[in-house]
A and B are shown apart, each in its own frame.
Chain A
Amino acid sequence: MSTNGTTKKSSTMTSDPSQSSFAVKAGLAQMLKGGVIMDVVNAEQAKIAEEAGACAVMALERVPADIRAQGGVARMSDPQMIKDIMRTVTIPVMAKARIGHVVECQILQAIGVDYIDESEVLTPADPTNHVEKSGFGVPFVCGCRNLGEALRRIAEGAAMIRTKGEAGTGDVVEAVRHMQTVNGEIARASSSTDSELRMMARELECDYALLKQTAQLKRLPVVNFAAGGVATPADAALMMQMGCDGVFVGSGIFKSGDAAKRAKAIVQAVTHYNDPQVLADVSSGLGEAMVGINVEKLDGGARLAKRGW
């Protein structure tokens, strides 16, 4: 879990992607803390996001609400579109790859994205495995519903974790459920003896050393963002109050009435998540929120969070 031991000297520090240490990968996630990462589908939206104060953007072809509505196989975006966005903004640019699709990840690394999201929002490419992420120089973020899933992803090399709330619904309930589950399991781990932890590691199907580290830290060993279903400043602040380090907003911004205004409001809400007066101010007069889908009304097969293993 610690750095891979390749401390680069200044003379040899030019980019050899395979040499990026875990500290460098996890370090960028630490720089994103307290910030909002916004889904964008073109350079124009990326500019709006940057002007709103986004700390990074996620470049993808269709926001999750459209993927949900249009169906079909959702894949990595056109590299040309991602490169346009990278040229347009100076903040970090992330992009999504399908679960287990090693080659999509290689392509995203080759074009120089700052983070790869191995994401359940796209159609999974591997029925059993996630990408072995530690071999890549570019860092990865992955979704989780519980502590076991989070620690499996970290063991594979993920340098950042997010909840796996139901993307494209505008319903925050699943993100809340995942954060609650992770928090509850960390609390349980923190009050466990070593032998209880070994049993818990078997139960959660995760690495014992990582579980032990989590128990000692009383938090995940990497940055943990909220994602999935965040549609309002209040949703974003709710996730921050539950202990998230920052927030991804997907369809919630560019599927709403006044995207620029809502984007700014969510940025302010994440900084001032504990100040109800500021939250009241920024929540006022935002226009229409995205049309929501009640997660309880979704068939099992329509639930994206179930993807991933």
Chain B
Amino acid sequence: MTLAIGVLALQGAFAEHIQLLRRAVAEASVSAPLQGSTAESIGFEFVEVRTPGELARCAALIIPGGESTSIALIAERTGLLEPLRDFVKVQRKPVWGTCAGLILLAESANKTKATGQDLIGGLDVRVHRNYFGRQVESFEADLDLPFLGEDAGTFHSVFIRAPVVEKVLSASLPVDHTEDMVTAPARKATAAPVEILARLPGRARALRDRSTTAEDLGEDGDIVAVRQGNVFGTAFHPELTDDARIHAWWLQQVVNSTVI
């Protein structure tokens, strides 16, 4: 069978994701083929998504890095914002957001532009936009990503004006609003917990919001990868490397949740 995997192509590094998805499939077919429950080999089709019609064809979606304000505004004017919320929060199809994509998938974001911005939501977290600062503070780092496997080694990752997850939200508690914070409209609540999949060590002390952060959660380091049910988000850009391991892992998650 063939699964259509969409990459939101309104603005940003969507071509880079499609390239790495193709590489992930090519490499996986050599090592461990992506397979469904019947051991049937799965085929993939990669779709640039610019319209509601193109989104409707997809079994899963990547929201790439780019400018989250641009992507949100274009989505709204293209009539894609509500279909995207439906895709993520009602149909609960698998979605992965990188950087700007993580911001759009958060239920809450701060340090947004003066008039706020639309969010899709799906992850019960609050992100801090441009957390590390401006471009001169962008950097590369080698991360431990335990979800790739025990012996995976580090993943070389690129952070460009990147956000972090600064707080895991409790669905039952009301969000405390500050001036430059926006939230996504509510949909069906999910029972799935927010799992912290990766941290960037050594920065937690710099956090300004001390109320609930990495340190309270008993670990050191900023949260840079999270998952809640079918929604996965990374603050960094695997699509700026030539390492397809996260893409291969995510495709397997997509297969597991849609085929099996």
A interface with B by C-beta (< 8 Å): 3, 7-11, 13-15, 17, 20-21, 23-24, 27-28, 30-35, 47, 50-56, 86, 88-92, 109, 112-115, 137-139, 264, 267-268, 270-272, 275
The chain A residue with its CB closest to the CB of B135 is A114
Min CB distance, A5 to chain B, in Å?
Answer: 11
The chain B residue with its CB closest to the CB of A246 is B11
> Would A20 and B130 be within 8 Å (CB), given that A30-B240, A53-B73 are in contact?
no
Subset of 11 A-B contacts with CB under 8 Å: A8-B139, A13-B141, A15-B137, A35-B11, A53-B11, A54-B70, A86-B134, A114-B136, A138-B136, A270-B11, A271-B78
Min CB distance, B14 to chain A, in Å?
Answer: 7
Q: Are B66 and A34 within 8 A (Cβ)?
A: yes
Q: Does B115 contact A (CB under 8 A)?
A: yes
Q: Are A27 and B138 within 8 A (Cβ)?
A: yes
Grouping DSSP codes into helix (H, G, I), strand (E, B) and loop, the B interface class, with mixed when no group exceeds half, is: loop
Q: Which of A9, A14, A92, A268 contacts B137 (CB 8 A)?
A: A14
The chain B residue with its CB closest to the CB of A275 is B50
**Per-residue A-contact encoding for B73-99, CB less than 8 Å = 1, 0 else:** 110011000000000000000000001
The chain A residue with its CB closest to the CB of B130 is A90
Min CB distance, A264 to chain B, in Å?
Answer: 7
Q: Are B141 and A9 within 8 A (Cβ)?
A: yes
> Would A89 and B113 be within 8 Å (CB), given that A10-B201, A271-B74 are in contact?
yes
| CB-contacts of B196-221 with A (<8 A) | 200-203
Q: Are A50 and B13 within 8 A (Cβ)?
A: no
Residues from chain B with Cβ under 8 Å of A55 in the complex: 11-12, 66-67, 70
B interface with A by C-beta (< 8 Å): 9-16, 50, 65-67, 69-70, 73-74, 77-78, 99-100, 111-115, 129-130, 133-143, 156, 158, 160-161, 200-203, 237, 240
Residues from chain B with Cβ under 8 Å of A89 in the complex: 113
- A32→B140 CA distance, assembly (Å): 19
Residues from chain B with Cβ under 8 Å of A268 in the complex: 74, 77-78
Q: Are A271 and B50 within 8 A (Cβ)?
A: yes
In the complex, besides A33-B11, A86-B134, A114-B134, 13 extra interface pairs with C-beta distance below 8 angstroms are A11-B201, A21-B140, A24-B160, A27-B160, A28-B138, A35-B66, A47-B114, A52-B73, A53-B70, A53-B74, A113-B134, A267-B73, A271-B78
Q: Which of A10, A32, A115 contacts B67 (CB 8 A)?
A: A32
